[in-house]
Chain A
Amino acid sequence: MTGPCHEGGSRRPIAMSLVFLCALSACHTAPVVDRTPPKAEPPVSAGESPAPPPPLSPEEKPPEHAVEVPIETPAEPPELPPEAPPPKRRPKSRPEPPPAPPAAAPAPAAPDAEVKPLDNSVVTVLGKKVQGPKGEDMGRVVDVLADADGRVRVAVVEFGGFLGVGNRRIAVDWSLLHFNPDDQAKPLTLSVSRKKLQSAPEYKNSIQPQALMAPQAPVPPQAPASPQAPAPPQAPAPSQAPSPSRAPAPLQVPASPQAPAGASTPSAAEGKK
């Protein structure tokens, strides 16, 4: 308040430095909040990466690959995820390691994609539009969550609202998502009815860090028929079990479903490990 009372000339630098100071301090605080989910991931790649690629490639492949491999092998497991994103445009995006999942779990592509050039049937998940069984708009994928075993458990889908007001986030079981990398029009489909998605309890993670883990549980909509469940064989089972109990929940306020969800659901317990 004392700053601006000088003459106009000296005012501006003060204002600007204030702005940038505050912006800088925001840089410190903001990322801390969301850091929790990614923590689950280092183990993810840790579990998978050491096994297949390094031994294979040196033998099979020409020198180019031999060059690539050393880069990956010496790296400690926790450091792998940060290395994975660089191919993406933005380096600082922490939660993006999820893009590793396409390679990891359900991928129709080869499992040892880390070394060989990927064949092109892969699709970016983050930010992609999701379509329902009848081609209806089901929002976009905003996040992907994995458990300690490295399996991608849920995708967080945001939909609804108008100009960003009233959007709703729902965590959906990974096995409910189907990928059609070759279909430009609808690369991702979700085999849940729009109604089910709408009435599912909301996924929350932005309010406070403690709330971060609990919402991992919501695997809300039940799997109609048999999802082709490519990777995680157990996934469909837990998701079907909790769903009946979850169904009435959305009628209450979104706050209450959280508690039961964290406590009772088997998948929640797994996720928290």
Chain B
Amino acid sequence: MALRAEYPPPANSRPAGSPAAGRGLDWFNLFVANIQTGFGPFIAVYLISQSWTQTSIGLALSIGTVAAMASQVPAGALVDAIPNKTRVAAFSVLAFTGCALMFAVYPIPLFVYLAEVLHGISSCTLGPATAAMSLVIAGRFGMGLRLGRNARYAAIGNGVGALLMGACGQYVSERAVFYLTAAFTLPALVALLPLRRVAIAGRDLQPPPRQPGQGRAQFFRVLADRRLLIFCGCAMLFTFANAPMLTLMSGTMTAKVGNPSLLVAACIVLPQIIVAIASPAMGRLAERRGRRIVLMIGFCMLPLRGLLFATSTNPTLVVAVQALDGIGGACFGIMVPLIVSDVAARSGHFNLSLGFVGFAIGIGGTLSTPTAGWLADHFSMRTAFFFLSAVGIAAVMLVLAAMPETRPKIDADGQ
């Protein structure tokens, strides 16, 4: 791969991946992003078309949110305990197949609730498993580049998936979207095939087996790591400010333009294109210049975007401003697993720590949408955007003031 030639990782990081495994991981990221597109807010649209009431839809979605939140940390610990991460990933994808089919074939409440819970849990196992496979393939010192690649392919999958599924929902039927989602799980599984041996090959990257007594102390040491806690705060603030922006803005846009669906589609797909373009560069930057600078770039996009949204509702400008979301998304998407791998890669609690950060992100996302909606209703859209910008600025300040550089020093770490 061009990647590796350009940036040979130090010998002591012991990357275990063959080029085939790397390509498999690329495709896997792409198809998983495809799959996840179907499980987004579209579920509400589908359930409406099935004559579901607003109350039941709200209940179904809350069950999904709660399941995802509650299983973040336990799922991380579970992935830590299972040596073969590829198998975890495969089972998570199979669970997605089940969810999609339950939605498509028989959307009665029991199955919908069950599918929501299952999807929440398997999302929580899939994320850490993917990150762990990346760590094994790329080694600790190639992680930034690998994650840049992951983010690129995931963005392509998101963008293509959104277009395909949007068209499918529009021109075929809402139900067909879930059949399509289920179909996408097949190529995702196939993409895992070259990764079968990776977990075994990378075993020496894992820490030596822990003694029972040592495990608990180390567990707390990892979670109480100052860098991890600060980063959790940053991630929570970032998500809080980021999550409701598009929703708020697209609701306003829908009232104003001739073809709102097309505009919202542009607002969703454009950032993905930017992520696909920018991610590898961000990953390289993180390896060369450190994590803080990338984090700062990404976080600065937030208040900028909020302020621009607050001042203008011109549709063209709104789409253009969404490009900032792409940059922010690229930085954030890479930094989460990267910083966690810096902090916890060799502790044996990598996935648990990732789950911990995921939990913080979940809190931020869950709290922010109602808060922003409330502000928009009771004051004004502009107030809501100013508020989100202020939260974004707080996130930037936190990074600036407290977040230490976590890039590992090669000599310090080498054994």
Contact = CB atoms under 8 A, between A and B. Distances in A.
Interface of A: 1, 3-5, 7-8, 11-12, 14-15, 18-19, 22-23, 25-27, 29-31, 33-35, 88-90, 92-96, 124, 126-127, 140, 142-143, 158, 160-168, 198-200, 202, 204-208, 211, 250, 252-256, 258
Given A23-B66, A140-B49, 9 more contacts: A11-B77, A95-B55, A140-B48, A160-B260, A162-B264, A163-B37, A164-B44, A166-B263, A168-B251
B58 A163 contact: no
Interface residues of B, number: 75
Contacts of A30: 55, 58-59, 62
B62 A163 contact: no
Nearest to A199: B255
A90 B56 contact: yes
A208 B371 CA distance: 11
B166 A4 contact: no
Contact of A255 (B67, B120, B378): B378
B59 A27 contact: yes
A96 B380 CA distance: 32
Interface pairs A-B: 6 shortest CB-CB: A166-B250, A164-B41, A15-B74, A127-B51, A162-B264, A8-B81
Contacts of B255: 168, 198-200, 202, 250
Contacts of B69: 22
B376 A253 contact: yes
B66 A166 contact: no
Contacts of A90: 52, 56, 108-109
Interface stretch (B1-9, B149-157, B215-223, B296-304): B215-223
Interface in B239-296: 246-247, 250-256, 260-265, 267-268
Nearest to B380: A253
A230 B370 CA distance: 39
A243 to B, nearest CB: 16
Contacts of A166: 246-247, 250-251, 253-254, 260, 263-264, 267
Contacts of A26: 59, 62-63, 66
Given A33-B58, A93-B53, A161 B380 contact: no
Interface SS of chain B: helix, strand, loop or mixed? Answer: helix
B89 interface: no
20 contacts: A11-B77, A19-B70, A22-B66, A23-B113, A23-B117, A25-B66, A90-B52, A95-B54, A126-B51, A140-B48, A143-B53, A162-B250, A163-B37, A163-B165, A165-B40, A165-B41, A199-B256, A207-B373, A253-B252, A255-B377
Interface of B: 37, 40-45, 48-56, 58-59, 62-63, 66-67, 69-71, 73-75, 77-78, 81, 108-109, 113, 117, 120-121, 162, 165-166, 169, 212, 215-216, 219-220, 223, 246-247, 250-256, 260-265, 267-268, 352, 370, 373-374, 376-382
B266 to A, nearest CB: 9
Contacts of B40: 163-165
B307 to A, nearest CB: 16
Contacts of A168: 251, 254-255, 260
B71 A19 contact: yes
A211 B264 contact: no
A29 B370 CA distance: 15
Q: Find the residue from B52, B53, B58 having the highest chain A CB count within 10 A.
A: B53
Contacts of A11: 74, 77-78, 81
Given A93-B56, A96-B53, A163-B169, A255 B380 contact: yes
A109 B300 CA distance: 61
A8 B351 CA distance: 14
Contacts of A35: 55
A208 to B, nearest CB: 7
A254 B66 contact: no
A151 to B, nearest CB: 20
Given A26-B63, A161-B254, A255 B381 contact: yes
B223 A1 contact: yes
Nearest to B68: A19
A19 B75 contact: no
B117 A19 contact: yes
Given A4-B77, A26-B59, A165 B48 contact: no
A161 B264 contact: yes
